[in-house]
Amino acid sequence: MSKPRKHHSLPDVTRPNLLEDIFPYDLPPRIRFDGPVVEYIDGKPAQFDFASVATRDIVITDTTFRDGQQSLPPYTVDQMVKIYDLLSRLGGPHGVVRQTEFFLYTKNDRLALDKCRELGHKYPECTGWIRAVKGDFRLVKEVGLKETGMLTSCSDYHIFHKLKFRSHKECMDSYCEVVQAAFDAGVRPRCHLEDVTRADIDLFVLPFVDRLMEMSEQVPEDLAAKVRLCDTMGFGVSYPGAELPRSIPKLIYRLNKEIGVPSSRLEWHGHNDFHKVHVNGATAWLYGCDALNSTLFGFGERTGNPPLEGAVMEYIALKGGLCGIDTLAITELADYMRSIGLPIPGNYPFAGHAFNVTRAGIHAGGLRQDERIYNIFDTEKLLGRPPRVAITDKSGADGVVHWVNDFFGLRDEDRINKIKVHKLARWVIDQYEVDGRLTAISDQELAAKAKEFFPDYWAKYKANA
């Protein structure tokens, strides 16, 4: 016998339900939750309340100048100051982009830090990054930083094969000596658990973090050790039911609920080797990590880190508001990165030159009727980037008329209709059908044709320009 099916009748709906409470258009679509999530840990159900993320002080931290620079030629001091300034604008007065970290090893590293701090921005706070070597605290103290990240690699690949410790105990004692040196120097240590998603959780990670918590009880709260979970090789997975050490939910649960590391002292740092980097970061937020470490446009070692601008959009989606974030700074940052020779792929979300450009005539037709049909949100308002069409043989008259109206800045009743662009549409088709063209038609070529076919509009356009 088959299971009885639930019947769904079709009411005669005549008004569109655009779900604008979820898709407000003037903001990225909201991410809302309608109940708790249950994950089985050691065979017992553990409940997570994702909706609490709306009120938790989740933040974005930045490592553009540290991990980001490990994959690129070094930034100049002036470039770092410019980027820092824009990061501050992006994160807004409440410090959604809360911290950024600096190398401290070269004169240029330290000069860049000084110049960034001279701007006087409250956020992002500047922190350091050093090896787990006691002598390196001299650098942190010299530049007067309150917090520094330090490498505390925790997989046996690192402990035994890279760092050549003879035992977990020897390794942990060594790390804890450096943590104590940080406390003694009055600097908050942020322990970077390198390669945690490939580590022995029970026999190293939990005992080490347990000891960090004990040590932290002996110092003022503002010095207590933070823990950064570093998914160094991008092995972390977000799926409920996945096993440790790859399970992000279980890692965070163990540290947060079993060891008692507060969410405010937990941070996730991912890599994109398996295309999971952004969702893994957001997953860490949901399961109890308050800080999501990221880099601008995902620039970072090998395949990169969680893209900061993606985290910003996720933040807005989870919070349901801008919270002081200036999203237009994303476009300025992307333009700036390109201007200093750092390429951003054309189809890269939110920042690539073609992220909201359609080549399909049928999509262009939809855009012409209501841009919400094929635009993710009001990209003109939030990013200064209205949806556009690129013209190819697939664009059709719909694509051409969208391009013409966009080019001349014509809106509403001023827009030219399809009939009026027939000559340009014919020229486009002939490029492919008669001349055998195989490339997209550039804006410059189209502009030249627009001048020829629409002299009146061209004169107005030039006058306004």
Partner 1 sequence: MATVEERVKAVTARVLRFDPKDIQPESSFTEDLGAESVQSIELVAMFEEEFGIEMDEDAALSVTTVGGAVEFITNVCKAQGVAVEE
Q: Least CB distance from residue 447 to partner 1, whole Å?
A: 20
User: Exposure string (b/e) for 421-445, b if CB count within 10 Å is 16 or more?
Assistant: beebbebbeebeeeeeeeebbeeee
Instruction: Give the nearer residue to partner 1 in terms of CB position, either 80 or 421.
Output: 421
Among 141, 353, 359, 420, binds partner 1 (CB under 8 A): 420
> With the C-alpha atoms ordered 228, 232, 234, 240, is the resulting torsion angle positive or negative?
negative
Instruction: Give the nearer residue to partner 1 in terms of CB position, either 332 or 393.
Output: 393
CB 284 within 8 A of CB 229: yes
Under the criterion CB under 8 A, does residue 404 sit at the interface with partner 1?
A: no
Instruction: Give the nearer residue to partner 1 in terms of CB position, either 338 or 418.
Output: 418
Instruction: Give the nearer residue to partner 1 in terms of CB position, either 68 or 361.
Output: 361
Among 419, 434, 438, 463, binds partner 1 (CB under 8 A): 419
Under the criterion CB under 8 A, does residue 417 sit at the interface with partner 1?
A: yes
> With the C-alpha atoms ordered 238, 239, 243, 249, is the resulting torsion angle positive or negative?
positive
DSSP state of 437: -
Q: Which of 23-31, 71-79, 309-317, 411-419 is the region at the interface with partner 1 (rule: CB under 8 A)?
A: 411-419
Under the criterion CB under 8 A, does residue 10 sit at the interface with partner 1?
A: no
Under the criterion CB under 8 A, does residue 51 sit at the interface with partner 1?
A: no
Instruction: Give the nearer residue to partner 1 in terms of CB position, either 237 or 401.
Output: 401
- Closest of 130, 91, 123 to residue 109, by C-alpha: 130
Enclosing H/E stretch for 419: none
Using only C-alpha atoms, the chain has a radius of gyration, in whole angstroms, of 26
Number of residues that bind partner 1 (CB under 8 A): 12
Q: Least CB distance from residue 398 to partner 1, whole Å?
A: 8
Q: Least CB distance from residue 400 to partner 1, whole Å?
A: 8
Write out the binding residues for partner 1, residues 425-464 only, by CB under 8 A: 425-426, 429
Write out the binding residues for partner 1, residues 343-372 only, by CB under 8 A: 361
Instruction: Give the nearer residue to partner 1 in terms of CB position, either 41 or 429.
Output: 429
Under the criterion CB under 8 A, does residue 245 sit at the interface with partner 1?
A: no
Half-sphere exposure of 100 (CA within 13 A, CB side): 31
SS3 content of the chain, % helix, strand, coil (to 5): 45, 15, 40
- Closest of 40, 80, 15, 57 to residue 249, by C-alpha: 40
Q: Least CB distance from residue 432 to partner 1, whole Å?
A: 11
Backbone angles phi, psi at 214, to 5 degrees: -60, -45
Q: Which of 106-114, 125-133, 171-179, 419-427 is the region at the interface with partner 1 (rule: CB under 8 A)?
A: 419-427
Contacts of 56 (CB under 8 A, 6+ apart): 263, 290
Instruction: Give the nearer residue to partner 1 in terms of CB position, either 245 or 396.
Output: 396
Contacts of 226 (CB under 8 A, 6+ apart): 147, 188, 189, 190, 191, 265, 266, 267
Instruction: Give the nearer residue to partner 1 in terms of CB position, either 149 or 396.
Output: 396
- Binding residues (CB under 8 A) for partner 1: these are 361, 396-397, 417-422, 425-426, 429
